[in-house]
Amino acid sequence: MGGIPLLDYLVVGTLLFGIGLWGALTRTNAIRILMCIELMLNAVNLNLVALNQYLDPGSVEGQIFGLFIIAIAAAEAAIGIGIVLMVVRRRGEVDINKIRLMRG
Amino acid sequence: MSGTAVIFAVLAAVVLLGAWRVVTSEQIAHSALFLGLTFVGMAGLFILLKAPTFALLHVLVYVGAILTVVVFAIMLSDPEELRGAGDLPLGERLRRRFLSPYYGWLPVVVAGVLVAVVLAGLAAAQLPRVPLGEPVADDLRAIGGEMFTRYAIPFEVASAALLAALIGAIGLTRRETAEERGRAGRDGGAARTAPVARVPGAMAAQGAGDGAPQVGTPAGSSPAGDRVTAAAGSSGGAGAAGEVGR
């Protein structure tokens, strides 16, 4: 880890999460929103591993939590892409503003 | 500036610029490739953190599985729908970027406030500059041991969730068989969606169904016309098309 303070990793994670949040809020393409959610999950993973390696280096619990996040991210991507593909096939649309089946 | 610091700076720049381009690329295919760049940069950061097993699994799952699925989704979608805001006129794009609350300044404020609060908290916190000890040397063995002893039940739950998600994804994206499509047409439930109209012969049947009431075919003039009018009376023209097309 060569003299890099823990703060630097956490700042990178925070900025990555901020970019992902901004993208998920501003974009209207469903696939791009899924990509931004992956970015946010990545930021959390970076925080978990960095905190694990700096604060409790003798254990691997942060990495195990990160692996669970990776598993859930894979499940989320599969389901999200499946829903997007189904909506595209039925309605020819990936713009979330034009998909308003569930609007009351 | 030591070598490690240079490597860290390069990796952080790759990650953040890649993430930035994921959001701002005009073409979504470029977004997907920048997403892959971000994932590889993240793996580099994990290696720098002396967690090589985690980096390996990260590349394996994110680049090998999730990015592939995203690229598949992009290629299976209609290319007309994928350009996004890029084909809007410039004035509309600028207005959307700066003035619109939903696509412009409000998300920037939300994300900016969050990042500012977290950074202020980090600046005030007493964080160690160096690790509080040596990291686990054989981290693959340590992760595997913990995963199958102490975290065995969460591991099983996660694998069950993953299996359920994959089966659900298959069920969502599976194409309907002709038999189910006909049944849907008879019920009149999904009869309005496009796939029904694409059934071979359905277009001709649709024409017949539309034409029959206008011409005023007498009931019983032909068996086929009788079926069409009877079905059209019960569940509408599209439903009749599904019925006859089958």
* Confidence band, pLDDT 50/70/90 cuts, at residue B177: low
Q: Tens of pLDDT along A18-74?
A: 999 999 998 888 889 999 999 999 999 999 999 999 998 888 999 999 999 999 999
Instruction: Report the pLDDT value the prediction gives residue A100, as an integer from 0 to 100.
Output: 77
Binary contact (B168, A79; C-beta < 8 A): yes
Alpha-carbon span A38 to B163, nearest angstrom: 19
pTM: 0.75
Instruction: Report the pLDDT value the prediction gives residue B78, as an integer from 0 to 100.
Output: 62
Give me the helix-helix angle, B178-187 and B223-245, nearest 10°: 120
Binary contact (B162, A18; C-beta < 8 A): no
Instruction: Report the pLDDT value the prediction gives residue B219, as an integer from 0 to 100.
Output: 44
Q: How far is B49 from chain A (nearest CA, A)?
A: 6
Closest to B242 measured CA to CA, from B198, B195, B202: B202
Identify from A9, A12, A76, A95 which residue to disrupt to test chain B contact, counting B C-beta atoms within 10 A and taking the largest count: A12
Instruction: Report the pLDDT value the prediction gives residue A89, as an integer from 0 to 100.
Output: 80
ipTM: 0.92
Q: Tens of pLDDT along B141-168?
A: 999 999 999 999 999 999 999 999 999 9
Q: Which residues contact B60 (CB under 8 A, 6 or more apart)?
A: none
Q: Tens of pLDDT along B19-73?
A: 999 999 888 889 999 999 999 999 999 999 999 999 999 999 999 999 999 998 8
SS3 B91: helix
Return the percentage of chain B with pLDDT > 90, whole number. 38
Instruction: Report the pLDDT value the prediction gives residue B88, as an integer from 0 to 100.
Output: 64
Binary contact (B22, A23; C-beta < 8 A): yes
Phi/psi of residue B190, nearest 5 degrees: -100, 20
Lowest-confidence segment of A2-16, B75-89, B103-117, B167-181 by average pLDDT: B75-89
B105 touches chain A (CB under 8 A): no
Tell which wins on pLDDT, A99 or B47.
Answer: B47
Strand partners, A29: A95
Taking CA atoms, A60 is separated from A47, A54, B4, B85, in Å, by: 14, 11, 23, 44
Strand partners, A95: A29
* Confidence band, pLDDT 50/70/90 cuts, at residue B239: very low
Q: How far is A32 from chain B (nearest CA, A)?
A: 7
Select the residue of B114, B128, B166 nearest A78 (Cβ to Cβ).
Answer: B166
CB B29 within 8 A of CB B76: no
Instruction: Report the pLDDT value the prediction gives residue B129, as an integer from 0 to 100.
Output: 82
Residues from chain B that touch A38, judged by Cβ atoms under 8 A, are: 35, 62, 66
Residues from chain B that touch A66, judged by Cβ atoms under 8 A, are: 54
